[in-house]
């Protein structure tokens, strides 16, 4: 599951309740209220999406302010009418209508105070945080002619093997975040005030309540799932640490067993696939480098996207609308700033779907395209639902759809579409599984800790004075990584991760990392596949596609356990599919790690780069 995924949903907004309505509301009045709500939602949502699209693909002070104003209007209307909708909560409503009111209540990822001035301040602060990230660059030697955006830096982090240079890139990018620190503290304060006015303890509790269960139960479910996969992560961490020490010596070795974050091939150490060349098995049979193949074929950005579209078409889905190809952003603009963070956009909840991405033709980009198109095909599948239900069963579902498809990017699939000629032998399974685990398994603790940090910030457990300390304490506890250079509270390292300044909930990505394997295993069974799970590709299986599409078409009309059961026959999140998929690798890792103590011990100072 990739870090670079974001999808924008319209925020619910409804028409005012008539002053002439009866003192005691009725079910009929509740239905009329919601009908108007959905009509206004559609109108305001489309306007908001178009405004935000321009703001992200053409960053200027003006587009930033315009987007903030549009967001403020949307939030103001929604906040006001969520409160009015409470008068219907005590009624014995039909199940569908009751669910619409619940979703209305949970529709504000950034709840705002009722006070107009505070609400305007919140939206402006939020917009400025996103713009600061979008405009962020690292300029080596302070030379403005050679500034690097995050997509450029990610490419350098993937390929550079000098630990000092890697630390320089890491520290250079993280310098964009300190100016956000005070604004983020104010953002959290204002958002919490809005959440309390809606009846929630804080914004974190509101977010956790969006999973058809109580907030405490959801937090417990996340930890339960982590316990299922933690042994696999620890074995992977131990193996990778050993190989990095062999490669870099003192630059990688720490007495506490933590891994210096800059050595893992990714700005946030959240996915490690880029260092496969360092950790590959010593006697691994040759496989293939998809990025090199795409480069040799001179595959441009649209060609890469066409591969993803073709996969979905092989399952029985229709071609993407013509407007998709006309209106999407596939490469970084040459003459203005844009947010390159990959994201899928459903502009009008009908057919105007778009991709925003700066494609370089790497193997990661190939996978990311499949992921992002999963969002769009989900959008298209549930467009016939009522407006309130045009969303994923939960946000984790939305993130998992494309990743479940991307698991089918196997050698067999690549041969079928003509990117490779020969399927690697069976003994290549371990190298292929290791390469995938470096992304999928390595991501799990990061996917968990980003929102744990925010939940602690929103709850007040972590004060602004300890933002960075708490961030690194969690990264040490769950990931087992340390900063490449000493950090202090004058830094704000969470802000260097897109989803913090953009206020995008992150637990969805952790959930998606679990869901995708459940979806994938179910699709493989539907396709009639028999054999090791990691070798399955459902490319070309209309039977699997039919069942998959039936789940997508439900949208958010049913609680997520019902949608999960529609696809898998299971109604509970379960990490057994991901464990089954990587079981051959787990056995191999334990063999490689014999005599090496797994895991790590707490550092005296989680912000220290000391060895």
- Return the structure tokens found at 547: 């069942």
- Return the structure tokens found at 181: 């620190």
Check whether 12 has a pLDDT greater than 70: no
**Pair 4, 341: CB distance under 8 Å:** yes
**Pair 190, 129: CB distance under 8 Å:** no
Question: Between 175 and 425, whose confidence is greater?
Answer: 175
Average pLDDT over residues 193-211: 93
> 259-260 and 481-482: which strand pairing?
parallel
pLDDT given at position 9: 36
For 554, the 3-state DSSP assignment is coil
102: left (phi over 0), alpha (psi -120 to 50) or beta: alpha
Instruction: Return the half-sphere exposure (C-beta side, CA atoms, 13 A cut-off) of residue 17.
Output: 21
Check whether 58 has a pLDDT greater than 60: yes
3-state SS of 113-180? Answer: CCCHHHHHHHHHHHHHHHHHHHCCCECHHHCHHHCECHHHHHHHHHHCCCHHHHHHHHHHHHCCCHHH
pLDDT tier at 399 (50, 70, 90 boundaries)?
confident
Check whether 5 has a pLDDT greater than 60: no
**Pair 359, 306: CB distance under 8 Å:** no
Q: Which of 36-40, 95-99, 218-222, 545-549 has the lowest mean pLDDT?
A: 36-40
Q: Which long-range contacts (CB under 8 A, 24 or more apart) does 544-550 make?
A: 544/315, 545/314, 545/315, 545/316, 545/317, 546/316, 547/522, 547/523, 548/315, 548/519, 548/523, 549/315, 549/316, 549/317, 549/381
Q: Where are the alpha helices (DSSP H) in 209-266?
A: 215-248
Query: Considering only CA atoms, which of 370, 399, 382 is closest in space to residue 311?
Result: 370
CA distance 141 to 139: 6
**Pair 370, 402: CB distance under 8 Å:** yes
CA distance 471 to 454: 9
CA distance 182 to 180: 6
Query: Considering only CA atoms, which of 407, 409, 402, 354 is closest in space to residue 378?
Result: 402
pLDDT given at position 75: 80
Query: Considering only CA atoms, which of 266, 230, 272, 171 is closest in space to residue 600?
Result: 230
Angle between helices 395-406 and 507-526 (to 10 degrees): 50
For 8, the 3-state DSSP assignment is strand
pLDDT given at position 44: 87
CATH code of the domain in which 298 resides: 1.10.1370.30
Report CA dihedral (479, 481, 483, 489) to the nearest 10 degrees: 40
Count of domains forming the chain: 1
Q: Of 55-59, 359-363, 390-394, 470-474, where does the model show the most confidence?
A: 470-474
Q: Which of 14-18, 325-329, 377-381 has the lowest mean pLDDT?
A: 14-18
Q: How far is CA 273 from the centre of its chain?
A: 17
Residues 225-258 pLDDT 10s: 999 999 999 999 999 999 999 999 999 999 999 9
Report CA dihedral (379, 382, 386, 392) to the nearest 10 degrees: -70
CA distance 409 to 332: 26
CA distance 602 to 473: 9
pLDDT tier at 3 (50, 70, 90 boundaries)?
very low
**Pair 342, 5: CB distance under 8 Å:** yes
pLDDT given at position 6: 36
Question: Between 2 and 231, whose confidence is greater?
Answer: 231
Q: Return the percentage of the chain with pLDDT > 70, whole number.
A: 96
Average pLDDT over residues 324-346: 91
Q: How far is CA 124 from the centre of its chain?
A: 24
Strand order in the sheet with 6-8: 6-8, 343-346, 353-356
Query: Considering only CA atoms, which of 172, 34, 133 is closest in space to residue 484?
Result: 172
pLDDT given at position 18: 42
- Mean pLDDT estimate for the chain: 90
What's the domain range around 456? 1-611
315, burial (CB in 10 Å: exposed 0-12, middle 13-18, buried 19+): buried
Average pLDDT over residues 50-56: 93
Q: How many helices (H) and strands (E) does the chain have?
A: 23, 5
pLDDT given at position 611: 58
Beta strands in 414-502 (DSSP E): 481-482
> In which element (H, E) is residue 523 found?
helix 507-526
For 345, the 3-state DSSP assignment is strand
pLDDT given at position 364: 79
**Pair 243, 279: CB distance under 8 Å:** yes
The pTM assigned to this predicted structure is 0.84
Which residues lie across from 353 on neighbouring strands?
Answer: 346
pLDDT given at position 17: 39
């Amino acid at each position: 599951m990739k870090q670079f995924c974001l999808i924008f949903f319209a925020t619910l907004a409804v028409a005012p309740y008539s002053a002439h309505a009866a003192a005691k509301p009725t079910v009929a009045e509740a239905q009329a209220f919601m009908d108007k709500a959905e009509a206004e939602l559609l109108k305001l949502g489309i306007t908001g999406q178009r405004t935000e699209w321009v703001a992200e693909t053409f960053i200027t002070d003006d587009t930033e302010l315009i987007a903030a104003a549009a967001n403020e209007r949307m939030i103001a209307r929604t906040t006001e009418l969520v409160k009015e909708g409470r008068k219907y909560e005590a009624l014995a409503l039909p199940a569908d209508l009751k669910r619409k009111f619940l979703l209305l209540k949970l529709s504000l990822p950034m709840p705002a105070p009722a006070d107009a001035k505070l609400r305007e301040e919140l939206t402006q602060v939020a917009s400025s945080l996103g713009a600061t990230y979008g405009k962020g660059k690292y300029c080596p030697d302070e030379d403005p002619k050679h500034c690097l955006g995050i997509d450029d830096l990610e490419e350098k982090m993937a390929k550079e093997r000098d630990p000092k240079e890697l630390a320089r890139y890491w520290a250079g990018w993280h310098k964009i975040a300190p100016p956000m620190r005070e604004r983020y503290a104010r953002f959290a304060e204002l958002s919490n005030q809005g959440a309390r006015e809606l009846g929630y303890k804080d914004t974190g509790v509101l977010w956790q309540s969006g999973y058809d269960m109580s907030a405490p139960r959801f937090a417990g479910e996340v930890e339960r799932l982590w316990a299922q996969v933690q042994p696999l992560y620890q074995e992977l961490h131990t193996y990778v640490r050993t190989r990095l020490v062999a490669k870099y010596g003192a630059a990688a070795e720490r007495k506490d067993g933590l891994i210096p974050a800059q050595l893992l091939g990714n700005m946030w150490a959240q996915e490690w696939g880029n260092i496969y060349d360092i950790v590959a098995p010593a006697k691994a049979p040759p496989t293939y480098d998809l990025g090199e193949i795409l480069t040799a074929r001179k595959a441009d950005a649209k060609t890469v996207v066409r591969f993803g579209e073709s996969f979905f078409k092989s399952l029985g889905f229709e071609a993407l609308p013509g407007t998709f190809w006309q209106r999407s952003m596939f490469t970084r603009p040459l003459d203005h700033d844009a947010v390159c963070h990959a994201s899928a956009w459903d502009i009008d909840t009908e057919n105007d779907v778009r991709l925003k991405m700066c494609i370089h033709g790497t193997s990661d980009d190939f996978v990311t395209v499949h992921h992002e198109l999963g969002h769009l095909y989900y959008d298209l599948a549930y467009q016939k639902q009522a407006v309130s239900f045009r969303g994923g069963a939960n946000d984790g579902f939305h993130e998992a759809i494309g990743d479940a498809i991307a698991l089918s990017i196997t050698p067999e699939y690549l041969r079928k579409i003509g990117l490779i000629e020969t399927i690697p032998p069976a003994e290549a399974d371990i190298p292929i599984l290791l390469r995938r685990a470096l992304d999928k398994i390595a991501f799990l603790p990061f996917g968990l800790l980003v929102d744990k940090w925010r939940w602690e910030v929103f709850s007040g457990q972590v004060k602004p004075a300890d933002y960075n300390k708490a961030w690194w304490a969690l990264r040490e506890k769950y990931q087992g990584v340390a900063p490449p250079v000493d950090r202090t509270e004058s830094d704000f390292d969470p802000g260097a991760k897109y989803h913090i300044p953009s206020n995008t909930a992150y637990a969805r990505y952790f959930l998606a990392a679990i869901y995708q394997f459940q979806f994938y295993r179910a699709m493989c069974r539907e396709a009639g596949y028999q054999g090791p799970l990691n070798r399955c590709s459902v490319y070309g299986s209309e039977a699997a596609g039919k069942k998959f599409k039936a789940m997508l078409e439900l949208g958010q009309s049913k609680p997520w356990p019902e949608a999960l059961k529609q696809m898998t026959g299971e109604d509970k999140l379960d990490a057994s599919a991901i464990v089954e998929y990587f079981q051959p690798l787990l056995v191999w890792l334990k063999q490689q790690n014999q005599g090496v103590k797994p895991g790590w011990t707490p550092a005296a100072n989680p912000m220290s780069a000391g060895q």
